[in-house]
Amino acid sequence: MNLIQAKNITKKYQTKTALDSISIDVERGSIFGLLGPNGAGKTTLIRIINQIIAADSGEIFFDGDKLQPKHISQIGYMPEERGLYKNMKVGEQALYLAQLKGMSKQDARTKLKYWFDKFEISTWWDKKIQELSKGMAQKVQFIVTVLHEPKLLIFDEPFSGFDPVNAEIIKDEIIGLKDKGATILFSTHRMESVEEMCDHICLIDDSKIVLDGKISDIKRSHRDNQYEITINEEDFIGLDNLKDFVSVLSNKPNRNFKDQLDLTLRITNNIVPQDLLKSLMTLGELHHFTEKIPSINEIFIKHVEKSFE
Amino acid sequence: MANIIKLIIEREYMTKVRRKSFVVMTVLGPLLFVGVFGIIAFLASVNKDNKTIVVYDETSLFVDTFKSDDETNYIYVPTTDIISVIDDVKKNSYYGIIHIPFKYNNIDSIASSVEFLSDDTPSISVTRSIENRIKDKIRDVKLVELGTSSDIVSKASVTVNMRYVNYNGELKNSDIGGIQIAIGAISGILIYMFIFIYGVQVMRSVIEEKTNRIIEVIISSVKPFELMMGKIIGSALVGLTQFTLWTIFSSVIFSFAKGYFGLESPSEQMLADSTPEINNRMQSLLASLFEIDFTLIIGAFLFFFLGGYLLYSALFAAIGSAVDSETDTQQFMLPITLPLIIAMYSGFMVLENPNGPVAFWLSMIPLTSPIVMMARIPFDVPTWEIVLSMVFLIIGFVLTTLLAAKIYRTGILMYGKKPTYSEIWKWIRHS
């Protein structure tokens, strides 16, 4: 069952098309990664789901219902450009923003206490935002986003501005929220976090979807019969015997052992990995053998470059 | 929705009221007001400083023409030596000398050879008053010379007190003009100040949310229109609070100052002085105060005060949303400040001719009506005009708010380059 279903969303600005008939399905309880180069239309789509701006055409369903203002309280949104009132106290501000999302003051206070204790920031309650560092303010922003326990959480570049330690904390929190049943949609440039966290990705480029699917499916479909192996240098010559079905794509000396070579091979379609492995074992010592599965980063670059051509 | 707007109003109100600048202005405002008032009063009293004028009358015809009063003290000196009189006047820094030469008491030559001696140029009111007295005296003397008995001449002198009556035959008080002008001018100026100070505050608050980038978080929870209205109403309440506090503080300070300097309120003082003339004047002043419809004025003031503010602050909010920083606002401020300034300056014209065409039209146009109509209202404006002007103001407010909301909705999400007027026009058309 999908929590968000967007059908043929189109949004044009005066001079350019930001979204050209985009459709996405965000499965309940999953982490959905929205990827794409700058200016691809990610933020526009996120703003439309947040009902900040209206689409020119197309419709969005939230939990089966047509998206309406009443759904606002079930969405938590952390925009890319973070911001809080600089001269307002942290606690007061968090209470205000929580109430805008429809929480009662009492409820907000209890939940804030939980999160402030969890992040060990209870002493910040009476501080003004301008007294906090950027990273500290980001934590407050994160809490404010998730406080009302929305069904859908939208993060636009959630890790930008966090140092690695805090980025890790936030990552774990996001995964924790998913485990509790929240659905998460986030856009990012950080491919390693996509790899680690996302169940499903959608790559938007130049206002169109160029790739969409479960990470596992995408990776499977991008397998290219490539294998990474490490052999002794003197055995390299033997690869010549296999040239009918194996081509060498790259050849580098091993970082640790000068007498070993790291190779990337591609096999033709008519053979299976077992055949390759058997043949390699006849060459001599085989130190390493693994199928090379393209990283999301490589897939991303490949697709974006393709559209540039 | 009502609840959300209440929250926004509350935040806007609380953050502004707690600000140091609000506290400082609330305390300093009345002090400044009383201070300015005090300086004006002081200057007026300095200006009124008793003048001493020496009368050097060689003709002895004007023995009782110059009578000392509150403002001027006349000293008659023996006509022996004008040089020593001049020395004397200089030594005592008197105001000047009226020199009436003998001329064999030929009235016509006296009239043409009277002199006023002083180092500084005397004020027009002083010379005019002296001339009038001499003229009256000379005319009397001439009448006697021409054969009228001096008895008749003195019986023929009259004082004219013109009454001011409207077409229905109701008596108007002659003092009322001054009081009306004062009320009209003060309420016009107050509305002008309020619109400017609090309108700009709304604009700043919009810019603040935009540059803080909190705007996107907020409008993912509330509608931009709700946010804009919450801000405007919140600021209006801050303004009303400040205004109320000012009124209270000012009256406290006034009564304190009165007690401290041992001043009595004018009516008591006047009554104590009890010259019948002053007494009459005081009574007529009081009477004219009673003639003014204060319920109408206060009611209209509150209406135009709030109406004008709401209309303009919607526009100020739109400007704030279109720019990234306050320095970029200049270009867009002009079309808003221009009608305000026109209203303010034409206000003087309106006070002079409160029912003229300029006054009428400017008090109908919503951009100028809050100031101009307030300046007119103390002068018995027909009810239908007031009602019409109010209706136009309400319509004007609704239209400008709708327009401003369109600009606001698009503007708050625009960063980077400053928009041009044509871009803003596109925002209005496309949203």
List pLDDT tens digits, range A189-202.
778 788 888 999 99
Same domain? A165 vs A262: no
Question: Sheet holding A57-62: strands in order across?
Answer: A17-27, A2-12, A57-62, A65-66
Q: What is the pLDDT of residues A14-30, one digit of tens each?
A: 778 889 999 999 999 99
Query: Position of tokens 């003709």?
Result: B59
The pLDDT confidence band at residue B46, using thresholds 50, 70 and 90, is low
As a whole number of angstroms, the distance between CA A295 and CA B190 comes to: 68
Same domain? A183 vs A254: no
As a whole number of angstroms, the distance between CA B226 and CA B99 comes to: 78
Question: Which pLDDT score is estimated for B265?
Answer: 47
Tokens (6 digits) for A252: 């580098």
Arithmetic mean of pLDDT, A104-108: 93
Within 8 A by CB and 6+ apart from B259, the residues are none
Question: Is A51 in the B-facing interface, judged by CB distances under 8 Å?
Answer: yes
A302 within some domain = no
Q: Which residues of B touch A45 (CB under 8 A)?
A: none
Q: What is the pLDDT of residues A167-185, one digit of tens each?
A: 888 899 999 999 999 999 9
A207, A203, A210: which is closest to A189 by C-alpha?
A203
pLDDT > 90: what percent of chain A? 34
Same domain? A180 vs A254: no
Same domain? A180 vs A251: no
Question: Is A15 in the B-facing interface, judged by CB distances under 8 Å?
Answer: no
Question: Which pLDDT score is estimated for B270?
Answer: 46
Arithmetic mean of pLDDT, B184-195: 86
**ipTM at complex level:** 0.79
Find the CATH number of the domain harbouring A63: 3.40.50.300
A300 within some domain = no
Question: Which pLDDT score is estimated for B48?
Answer: 61
Arithmetic mean of pLDDT, B262-288: 54
CATH class, domain B50-156, is alpha beta
Q: What is the pLDDT of residues B133-159, one digit of tens each?
A: 888 888 888 888 888 887 888 787 777
Evaluate whether A8 touches A176 at the Cβ level (below 8 Å): no
Question: Which pLDDT score is estimated for B264?
Answer: 47
Tokens (6 digits) for A108: 């907000």
Domain count, chain A: 2
Question: Sheet holding A246-253: strands in order across?
Answer: A246-253, A260-267, A226-232, A286-291
Arithmetic mean of pLDDT, B326-341: 87
Q: Compute the nearest-CA separation of A84 from chain B (Å).
A: 5
Arithmetic mean of pLDDT, B264-275: 48
Q: Which residues of B touch A87 (CB under 8 A)?
A: 15
Evaluate whether B78 touches B129 at the Cβ level (below 8 Å): no
Same domain? A233 vs A201: no
Residue A309: is its pLDDT beyond 60? no
B314, B319, B364, B316: which is closest to B343 by C-alpha?
B364
Same domain? A201 vs A237: no
Question: Which pLDDT score is estimated for A183?
Answer: 95
Strand A57-62 relative to strand A2-12: parallel, antiparallel, unpaired? antiparallel
A19, A2, A32: which is closest to A186 by C-alpha?
A32
**Which residues of chain B are in CATH 3.40.190.10 domains?**
50-156
As a whole number of angstroms, the distance between CA B168 and CA B163 comes to: 14
Interface test with A, best of B14, B206, B216 (most A CBs within 10 A): B216
Q: If 0-12 CB within 10 Å is exposed, 13-18 middle and 19+ buried, where does residue B120 land?
A: exposed
Range of the domain at A273: 224-292
CA distances in angstroms from A141 to A38, A146, A157, A260, listed in the order given:
23, 9, 13, 50
Question: Which pLDDT score is estimated for B19?
Answer: 86
Interface test with B, best of A50, A100, A153, A155 (most B CBs within 10 A): A100
A89, A37, A97: which is closest to A72 by C-alpha?
A97
Arithmetic mean of pLDDT, A142-152: 92
Within 8 A by CB and 6+ apart from B356, the residues are B349, B350
A299 within some domain = no
Could you write out the DSSP letters of every residue in B253-291?
HHHHHHHHTTPPPHHHHHHHH--HHHHHHHHHHHHHHHH
Facing residue for B212 by CB, picked from A14, A83, A101: A83
Same domain? A286 vs A172: no
Q: Do B220 and A51 touch (CB under 8 A)?
A: yes
Evaluate whether A186 touches A32 at the Cβ level (below 8 Å): yes
Strand B171-172 relative to strand A200-205: parallel, antiparallel, unpaired? unpaired
Query: Position of tokens 């959608």?
Result: A202
Q: Do A81 and B213 touch (CB under 8 A)?
A: yes
Same domain? A253 vs A113: no
pLDDT > 70: what percent of chain B? 86
Q: How many CB atoms lie within 10 A of CB B111?
A: 17
Phi and psi based region of residue A120 (left: phi greater than 0; alpha: psi -120 to 50; beta: remaining): left
Arithmetic mean of pLDDT, B8-15: 92
A64, A56, A36: which is closest to A301 by C-alpha?
A36
Could you write out the DSSP letters of every residue in B41-63?
HHHHHHHT--EEEEEEESSS--T
Helices and strands in chain A, H and E counts: 9, 14
Q: Which residues of B touch A82 (CB under 8 A)?
A: 213
Question: Which pLDDT score is estimated for A45?
Answer: 92
As a whole number of angstroms, the distance between CA B226 and CA B153 comes to: 80
Same domain? A51 vs A190: yes
As a whole number of angstroms, the distance between CA B235 and CA B195 comes to: 11
Tokens (6 digits) for B421: 């007027």
Nearest CA in chain B to A72: B221
Q: If 0-12 CB within 10 Å is exposed, 13-18 middle and 19+ buried, where does residue A50 land?
A: buried
Amino acid at B214: I
Residue B311: is its pLDDT beyond 90? yes
Provide the CA B22 distance to its chain's centre, in angstroms.
25
> According to the per-residue pLDDT averaged within each range, which of A243-247, A278-282, B93-97, B399-403 is highest?
B399-403
Q: Do A86 and B212 touch (CB under 8 A)?
A: yes
Q: Mean pLDDT, chain B, as a whole number?
A: 82
Q: What ranges in B171-275 are assigned the alpha helix state H?
A: 176-212, 215-219, 224-260, 266-273
A96 within some domain = yes
Amino acid at A196: E
**DSSP state, residue B316:** H
Q: Do B7 and A96 touch (CB under 8 A)?
A: yes
Q: Which residues of B touch A100 (CB under 8 A)?
A: 4, 7-8, 218, 221-222
Query: Position of tokens 């922003």?
Result: A141
Residue A243: is its pLDDT beyond 90? no
Q: Do A77 and B11 touch (CB under 8 A)?
A: no
Find the CATH number of the domain harbouring A241: 3.30.70.1110
Same domain? A140 vs A168: yes
Interface of B with A (CB under 8 A): 4, 7-8, 11, 15, 208-209, 212-223, 413, 426, 430
Q: Do B7 and A100 touch (CB under 8 A)?
A: yes
Opening angle at CA B296, ends B40 and B238, nearest 5: 65
Tokens (6 digits) for A7: 């059908």
Dihedral sign of CA atoms B25, B31, B34, B40 in order = negative
Evaluate whether A279 touches A227 at the Cβ level (below 8 Å): no
Q: Do A83 and B430 touch (CB under 8 A)?
A: no
Q: What is the pLDDT of residues A8-65, one digit of tens each?
A: 999 988 778 889 999 999 999 999 999 888 888 888 999 999 998 888 999 999 998 9
A301 within some domain = no
A63 within some domain = yes
Same domain? A186 vs A54: yes
Same domain? A189 vs A154: yes
Instruction: State the SS3 of B145-175.
Output: HCCCCHHHHHHHCCCCCCCEECCCCCEECCC
Tokens (6 digits) for B218: 């907020």
Provide the CA A244 distance to its chain's centre, in angstroms.
40
As a whole number of angstroms, the distance between CA B253 and CA B258 comes to: 8
Residue B170: is its pLDDT beyond 70? no
Q: Compute the nearest-CA separation of B234 from chain A (Å).
A: 15
Strand A183-187 relative to strand A31-35: parallel, antiparallel, unpaired? parallel
As a whole number of angstroms, the distance between CA A189 and CA B135 comes to: 97
Hey, is B132 helix, strand or coil? helix
Evaluate whether A201 touches A296 at the Cβ level (below 8 Å): yes
